[in-house]
Structure 1
Amino acid sequence: MREEFGGGSKARRRYVAIGDSFTEGVGDPSKVLPNGVRGWADRVAEKLAKAQPGWEYANLAVRSKRLRHVIDEQLEPAMAMEPTLITLYAGGNDILDFGTDMDALLKDYELLVARLSETGATLVLFTGFDVKVSAVLEPFKKRNTLYNQRVRDIAAKYGAILVDYWCFDAYKDSRMWAPDRLHMSKAGHKYLAAQVLDNLNVPHKISPKEWDPPTRMSMREWERRQRRWVNDWVVPLFGRKLRGVTLGDSISPRWPEPVKVPRKGGLKKLMEDRETTQ
């Protein structure tokens, strides 16, 4: 584990995650955890606590949030928590918006990183994955490429740890993705948690999912699945964009205040203890 996470048995250890659905945990369902999801950040928090007792964890990320929302709604609360570790992914929803000014977006992204770096916390940033879902989304590829280039530069400039999500070949397997093809599946979230922990030099036993090779589908089956995906996910997505509404409008952060993560049982144990005391 990196030295900044050590600091003796009485050192404060506080992990704050900010961002959008990527960090909230969408695609990794849970019946017992807040907002009905788990995600990679919860797993990272649990492994931190297992490696060194005393870790606290807050997750302010909310699905559908744009970069401006993260800045306006999450930045100040995150800084007020005096974190020792911060993870940030934001901007992916902006990339999919009509008319996004990428230069302005990335300027605001750097200003956000600069503010977070003032805390002295270890800062973890992410590139975005080039999701091969459909020709429908190909026009956004150049934006994603530009975003990734700038995030790499900004991470180097501010001494942040970079998790280069774009480079992970494991995500070329469709089983790493949820049915909407834009969010990671449970296996995808577990794999990313392992990558973050590896970059932090935190011990863990999360291992990649081992699957048999995917079966080849017929053209008819492929076309049927494409139509279903467009009808179930793409049309509603762009419909919400046209109406100016998002799935996160009525959602609150999952862990809005730092909670002490149990070394055994993790966050599920925390929820069970809460239920017994109510």
Structure 2
Amino acid sequence: MRGKLIREIVAEQVEPALALRPDLVTLSAGGNDVIRLGTDPDLIAARCELAVRRLTRDGAQVVLFTGVDVGFSPVLRHLRGKVAIYTENMRAIAARYDCVVADLWGLTEIRDVRMWAPDRLHLNALGHHTVARMVLSSLNVPNALEPQRPEPMPGTTWRRARTEDLAWAREYLVPWVLRRVRHQSSGDHVLPKRPEAAPFGRLQP
């Protein structure tokens, strides 16, 4: 769920996931912690390891996501070193617990603003499609997903780009800063879309 911090994921989601007796678990966590000012990527990774240790104890295969190389992003590039430290921690944890690594850092296709939602923090549908292909490849799962390319970037002027930046700051950045000041998260009070396990989609032959 969006906005959740690693301590909330460990406390709220790990045991319900294990109650399903899964063979495979994907764990993409820690990003909301890493982008917060003053947080320690080593401590965040240690909390993530608690989840991995518990998930693997009963024999589930865990797919562990690295961070994204944010060097392309004007909004997040100042955090590139911090995300890199977190990513190396994820690789080390994956090695210790025999996890499959979903390498977002190495996925160069998503270093493109056209793969991202208007908030500049979350992937859009095209970005998710690209990540899904990478994960299936990491698991050696045959699939029919074809690469999708973003539409060409429309021409723009310096003035229009700055206007878009101001609109983004007003709609997304200012609320984010206010939540930090109030010690709130966008994940507070967010409930799962599907709280009960149910069949999803059509089974492949």
TM (norm. structure 2) is: 0.91
2:105 match: secondary structure = helix
Q: Contact conserved, 2:5 with 2:32, CA < 8 A, in 1?
A: yes
Q: Distance in 1 between matches of 2:200 and 2:165?
A: 41
Q: Does 1:151 align with 2:151?
A: no
Q: Contact conserved, 1:64 with 1:248, CA < 8 A, in 2?
A: yes
Unaligned runs of 5+ in 2: none
CA shift for structure 1 position 215: 3.4
Q: Which residue of 1 aligns with 2:120?
A: 181
Structure showing the higher strand proportion among its residues: 1
CA shift for structure 1 position 213: 3.4
Q: Does 1:133 align with 2:73?
A: yes
If asked which structure has higher relative contact order (CA below 8 Å, sep 6+), I would say 1
Residues 178-208 of structure 1: CA deviation (Å, up to 9, x unaligned): 0011100011111111111122222222222
Q: Contact conserved, 1:191 with 1:207, CA < 8 A, in 2?
A: no
Q: Which residue of 1 aligns with 2:200?
A: 261
Which of 103, 124, 128 is equivalent to 2:63? 124
Q: Which residue of 2 aligns with 1:81?
A: 20
Identity of aligned residues (%): 39
2:39 match: secondary structure = coil
Q: Contact conserved, 1:128 with 1:148, CA < 8 A, in 2?
A: yes
Q: Which residue of 2 aligns with 1:210?
A: 149
| CA 1:207–1:138: 2 relative to 1, 3 Å | same
| CA 1:262–1:209: 2 relative to 1, 3 Å | closer
Q: Which residue of 2 aligns with 1:102?
A: 41
Residues 107-132 of structure 1: CA deviation (Å, up to 9, x unaligned): 22222211111121111011111233
Letter in 1 for 2:59: G
How many residues of Structure 1 are paired with residues of Structure 2 in the alignment?
A: 203
Q: Does 1:190 align with 2:129?
A: yes
Return structure 1 stretches of 4+ with deviation > 3 angstroms: 136-139
Aligned-residue RMSD, C-alpha: 1.9
Residues 213-245 of structure 1: CA deviation (Å, up to 9, x unaligned): 323422112211211211211111111111122
Q: Which residue of 2 aligns with 1:166?
A: 105
